[in-house]
Amino acid sequence: MAEMYDNPNTIEKTFDQEFLSEYLRQAQWAEMVELKKIITEMSRKKRQISILDIGIGNARIPKHLSGIKEIWDMVKSYEGIDNSQNCVSISNRVISETGLGGKVSARLLDAVNLDKADKRYDLILVTWFTAGNFYPNNFPFESYAKSSKRYDLSRNEKFERIFRLAYKHLNPGGEIVIGSAYMDNDGTRKKQEDFYRKCGMTIITDERDSFTATKERYWSQRFTKERMMEYLNFIPKDKISFIPLDTYDYAMMVRIRK
């Protein structure tokens, strides 16, 4: 994942609202609407909440929330981590320019090393399809396009490790929110492929795969509810809920309660 966001040209495109597809913009808008509802709901139990943002990107979430005083007053602290130094640098610039440094911070940290963090949080965010970018370490990007064997995703140890660690770092009564995840169907696959080609990438997967990957080492997984539950099998099923973000089975939000 870091390889993609260490390319300045790709960063500029994926953070540019005008460049994004309408489907991506709609998912971004819908997850923000739901996120504000969740923060409001949580603040009724605890006046101010602490937030960890895994994959802070360009600090889009805190920048938007800070413009809504009623919502922002509910946030005690907002920490962001990212495995791309370029994203951390962009976020810190935004934080400085918007005067958010008293409440918001961003630092370089890969989520697989979240066990190095010594804090707990009320709300942990993994927004805007980031959860689908946690690809297995042994995925053969260089040879996959020529292989007839498909990659088995019945397990994704990196995904499971990150969310086990995140769950461990929740305060009692806290939540993890997967802001948006691609839904696994052919229509979504084609929309993914169209966007990555628009970014100038070369697709190395096809309709047999439940993820889209590119020669440039970009990966984005699609999920069914069943697959998501399998990956999160260490969490009681009644603590996991799904929110559709559209009416055409493109994206869903996942709420995980502790």
* Largest distance between two CA atoms of the chain: 55
At residue 118, the pLDDT reads 84
Q: For residue 13, what pLDDT band results from cuts at 50, 70 and 90?
A: low
At residue 250, the pLDDT reads 98
Contact 62, 78 (CB under 8 A): yes
Of 199 and 16, more confident: 199
Q: For residue 78, what pLDDT band results from cuts at 50, 70 and 90?
A: very high
> Is a pLDDT exceeding 70 seen at residue 8?
no
Report which of 47, 49, 61, 50 is spatially closest to residue 15, judged by C-alpha positions: 61
The CATH code of the domain that includes 8 is: 3.40.50.150
Q: Domain count for the chain, please give it.
A: 1
Could you list the residue range(s) of the whole structural domain that residue 229 is in? 2-257
* Torsion, Cα of 221, 146, 21, 2 (10° steps): 60
How many CA atoms are closer than 13 Å to the CA of 208, on its beta-carbon side? 10
Q: What is the pLDDT of residues 18-74, one digit of tens each?
A: 889 999 999 999 999 999 999 999 999 888 999 999 999 999 999 999 999 999 999
pTM value?
A: 0.93
CA gap 114, 150 in Å, rounded? 30
